[in-house]
Structure 1
Amino acid sequence: MHDCSLPILGQDIHGFDARGVAKRFRHAAIFGALGALTPGETMRFVNDHDPIPLLNQIAQHFGDSVGVRYVAREPGQIVIDFTVR
Structure 2
Amino acid sequence: DVRSLAPAQRHSEIFASYRNLTPGKGFLLINDHDPKPLQYQFEAEYKGQFTWDYLESGPKTWRVRIGRPAGL
User: When the two structures are superposed, what TM-score results if normalisation uses the length of structure 1?
Assistant: 0.77
The structure, 1 or 2, with the larger RCO (C-alpha pairs under 8 Å, 6+ apart) is 2
Structure 1 unpaired stretches of 5+: 1-16
Partner of 2:66: 82
Partner of 1:64: 48
Q: CA deviation at 1:74?
A: 2.2
Q: Any runs of at least 4 consecutive aligned residues in structure 1 with deviations exceeding 4 A, and if so which?
A: none
RMSD: 0.8
Aligned with 2:25 (options 38, 41, 44): 41
Structure 2 unpaired stretches of 5+: none
Partner of 1:30: 14
Bigger strand share: 1
Report which of the two structures shows the higher radius of gyration computed on alpha carbons: 1
Q: Give the count of matched residue pairs.
A: 69
Q: Give the AA of the match of 1:41.
A: K
What secondary structure does 1:25 align onto?
A: helix
How far does the alpha carbon of each residue in 1:26-66 deviate from its partner, in whole angstroms, 9 at most, with x for none?
11111111001011111100001101111100111111111
Rounded to whole Å, the distance in 2 between the matches of 1:20 and 1:38 is 26
User: When the two structures are superposed, what TM-score results if normalisation uses the length of structure 2?
Assistant: 0.89
